[in-house]
Amino acid sequence: MKPPKILVVDDESGIRSTLQGVLGDEGWETRTAITGEEALTLLEKESFDVVILDVLLPGKDGITLLKEIHKEYPSLVIIMISGHSTIEMAVKATRAGAFNFLEKPLSLEKVILTIRNAIDNRLLVEENFLLKQNLRPDWSLIGESPSMRRLKETIELVAPKESRVLIAGEKGTGKELVARAIHENSRRKQSPFLKVNFGVTPEEMAEEELLGYVKGAFPYAVADKKGKLLLADGGVLLLESVERMTPKLQATVLRYLEERRVEPLGSPEAFEPGVRLMATTTVDLSEEVVKGRFREDLLLLLGVVTIPIPPLRERKEDIPLLADHFLEIFAEEHSSPRKYFTDSAMRVLVEHPWFGNVRELKNLVERIVLLWKEEEVTEKSVRNLLTPLGFREPELITASYTSLTEAMESFERAFLHYRLKQNNLDQERTARSLGLDSVSLKERLQRFGLITGENGPLSQKS
């Protein structure tokens, strides 16, 4: 269990060093910032539980910063401090989202007590935020291709049931969107929809997220914390990137699925929440079972129903619908004049490989709304904002692959696709340019799904 993490924002070095020392003695990890800009940078890079924020700062003042932080991080608890406070200022800070307002000179005992209360209160703030998030979803699935129609039909069949669902698809295909659609069409739609992402959450924190803990379970458990399995009682818990679960976490989830009981860490009491589990993966879990990286018994329990999501390159007829949909959404979101794609611009979108799938298309359209000022979105404007691999080069390096083999296969697939496009889909010319014979190239193309036979979507008779 990691200790609570606190950010102190004050331009007085004495305040920063005193608080850092006192809070450190309490076992709390503390970082400091002098300006609002420095604080925002730290918040972007790191996760904090509490912010202690001075009202008077160089540059951006504390109240303005409070509003920005509260808007961007609604569950973050903020304690305001000031040596020139007034009742009006305290009321203003509280209305802007501050948890408390402390006057300088600070009473260190009061600071510690306020932080303890803030940490205690944070769970309630998180629960309220999660509930509010569930009140404003837009979970429409865009697309009329055969594969999308089949996907929608499957959702209609599965949603009313209570079966567990495993959603499989490449990064950016919209796995959470499918899970949300199932939830919104189920009898549980008025109940919570919560998530645990094993791809970004460390093992020890993931177990706490799932099970929760009681006060005193370990040195830094200063208050009871409900786990997601209890918070999602009556609703849905989505387990994201289950292929990234460690053996210990796999055993934890398996135990819950077999016993349907939850024991918070440090608690002698067990609970039986009524939760519908759904899970997502970017890999073939049956292959992970063969390689010994995933438990077969867990896969059988998670994948009562498995729903594959097709990559965008396999449903190109949906690209115009998606592009126009995102164009309308982002124009409204950014208060931008409405735009439209020319026919030639739309052809560029349809022909693009979209290795990042729908997420990549969505990001591109938002860039167009933000950076292109004309009403008519032209072919040139699209090409200017879209590199041949759709910014794939840095993504290939920074993506969270499970192995070197997966990373190498991802690059090889992207590179072969790019060379094919360069050679107008001529396989023999592509093979010669790569120093391969045509049979070897064809085998690779079929393995990566770039062709599906003699006349697949990216094949061309030579």
**Concatenated DSSP letters of 413-434:** HHHHHHHHHHTTT-HHHHHHHH
pLDDT of residue 401: 59
Please say whether the beta carbons of 43 and 7 come within 8 A. Answer: yes
Output the DSSP codes for 25-58. HTT-EEEEESSHHHHHHHHHHS--SEEEEES--S
Over residues 101-114, the mean pLDDT reads 88
Report residue 206 as tokens: 């993931």
**Residue of 319, 400, 403, 401 lying closest to 361 (CA atoms):** 319
pLDDT of residue 418: 80
Over residues 299-320, the mean pLDDT reads 94
pTM for this prediction: 0.58
Evaluate if residue 403 carries a pLDDT over 90: no
**Residue of 305, 297, 133, 163 lying closest to 231 (CA atoms):** 133
Burial class for 264, CB neighbours closer than 10 Å (0-12, 13-18, 19+): buried
Please say whether the beta carbons of 141 and 152 come within 8 A. Answer: yes
Evaluate if residue 163 carries a pLDDT over 80: yes
pLDDT of residue 407: 75
Evaluate if residue 459 carries a pLDDT over 60: no
Per-residue pLDDT tens over the stretch 234-259: 999 999 999 999 999 999 999 999 99
Over residues 10-18, the mean pLDDT reads 92
376-377 and 100-103 strand pairing: unpaired
Over residues 96-113, the mean pLDDT reads 87
Over residues 203-227, the mean pLDDT reads 83
Q: Given CA atoms 81, 225, 190, 245 in this order, what sign does their dihedral have?
A: positive
Provide the β-strand partners of residue 280.
167
Evaluate if residue 192 carries a pLDDT over 70: yes
Domains in the chain with CATH codes:
5-133 (3.40.50.2300), 160-308 (3.40.50.300), 312-393 (1.10.8.60), 400-447 (1.10.10.60)
Over residues 274-290, the mean pLDDT reads 94
Q: Which residue has the higher pLDDT, 127 or 293?
A: 293
